[in-house]
Structure 1
Amino acid sequence: MSTLTSQQEDLVVFARYPELGKVKTRLAAGVGPERALQVYRELLAHTQAVTKQLPVRKWLWLAEAGLGADRSDPWVGYQRLPQPAGDLGHRMQSAFAHAFAEGATAAVIIGTDCPGLTTEHLQEAYAALRTHDLVLGPATDGGYYLLGMKQVWPVLFQNKQWSTASVRADTLADAQRLGLQVRLLPELQDVDTADDLAAWQVTQKAES
């Protein structure tokens, strides 16, 4: 008699509370801190909207916030945790390890920088993890907007030049050396700089 294995799919979101001068600093260098904060609020709202209906357990890992942070964002249905110290790789590895320690059989991590992300992309990621070891959503800047896995492979988070164009290629090279089956999602654009914002605005006008 066969038994069904229960699946626990988790979503991890890395975010910050909105705070003038503390969010989207690379974007703020080109458009000013007030506009960068406005864009960040739009990106937060978008991320909340596309994840709202997902039938998964949700974790919100928050960066340290200052006294001026707006802590009223409606992250309904999320369990909140503080991001640990360390570089992005260490923080992501810690978040994945926590999810699996809490019983997850598959986990996906995203940030709040990708206005092109849809609920369907996330659903595709979870579906891919039923037949693949790793799923990656490539960003146009050479990084990735999504990473999903069924167990932690520490090497994927080590020896990376985070926030540079080499991250995706280095991650995929590590995955190949590990012999992992990888599924790539459609390439999307993050909004990190003034040029990214301008490109996003062009896309918005084209779609309206």
Structure 2
Amino acid sequence: MSVIHVAIFTRAPVAGVAKTRLIPLLGAEGAARAQQAMTWHMLEMATALPGATVSLWCAGDVAHPFLQRCSAHFHVECVPQCDGDLGMRMADCLRRGLALNERVLLTGSDVPAMTTTDLAQAAAALDHARMVFTPAEDGGYVLVGARRGGLEAACFDDVMWGGADVMAQTRQRLAARGWRTGRDWREMPALWDVDTPADFARALAETRLRAGPPY
């Protein structure tokens, strides 16, 4: 059992399926390579967190050669995501992680602005709060975490995933259950993820993301 575990959601980097909104900029193969680059980068950030264990939760073919290369290089387990919408998949990941670890952070692979320091600060927030969120600049969130006994999975119910009100809806779900921000849940400074060509250009300009190998 670890004190802190970081779970990373990713997708098998299949051309035409991965990061499709980047295809106008990079082409199908290029968008798949961008998915690889961002997954590799997030694994670098997570595995640098002192004392943490890390797992990679995959949509699509978990046996994809790139994912298996990640598993071998970073010594992490590749776990298939369950069926269902994003909320169901996140709840399943957190429940399973908390059965084995004291605290779990769940983030996506497409958040190159996330640093090891950001992960450490989110983990520390769970010393005082039951759950932690890192809001996204577009209205969603790029990280959710919980400590053992603190997960309120109902906050994932009936959320319009992908919209601009995801974090607002989540706050409403928690408040309706009597939770208070700053006590029951804490929010970290907002970050941004990569959805559009402009986001990817921003990532290359402002973060340590590498567009080429070693991935």
Aligned residues between the structures: 199
Write the mapping of 1:47-126 to structure 2, written as runs, cut at 5 A: 47-54=42-49, 55-65=51-61, 70-75=66-71, 76-102=74-100, 104-126=101-123
Larger Rg: 1
The one-letter amino acid paired with 1:82 is: P
Report the secondary structure of 2:6's partner residue: strand
The one-letter amino acid paired with 2:58 is: L
User: Is the 2:135–2:187 contact (alpha carbons within 8 Å) kept by the matching residues of 1?
Assistant: yes
Write the mapping of 1:20-39 to structure 2, written as runs, cut at 5 A: 20-29=15-24, 31-39=26-34
Report the secondary structure of 1:70's partner residue: helix
Q: Percent identity?
A: 30
Q: Per the alignment, do residues 7 and 41 of structure 1 end up closer, same or farther by CA in structure 2, a change over 3 Å counting?
A: closer
Q: Per the alignment, do residues 93 and 136 of structure 1 end up closer, same or farther by CA in structure 2, a change over 3 Å counting?
A: same
Write the mapping of 1:4-43 to structure 2, written as runs, cut at 5 A: 8-29=3-24, 31-43=26-38
User: Is the 1:23–1:37 contact (alpha carbons within 8 Å) kept by the matching residues of 2?
Assistant: yes
Counterpart in the other structure of 1:140: 137
Query: How much is the aligned-residue C-alpha RMSD, in angstroms?
Result: 2.3
Q: TM-score, normalised to structure 2's length?
A: 0.83
**Deviation at residue 26 of structure 1 after TM alignment:** 2.2
Structure 2 residue runs of 5 or longer lacking an equivalent are 209-215
Measured in 2, the distance between the counterparts of 1:36 and 1:82 equals 21
Structure 1 residue runs of 5 or longer lacking an equivalent are 1-5
Measured in 2, the distance between the counterparts of 1:42 and 1:162 equals 24
Measured in 1, the distance between the counterparts of 2:13 and 2:58 equals 11
Measured in 2, the distance between the counterparts of 1:146 and 1:155 equals 17
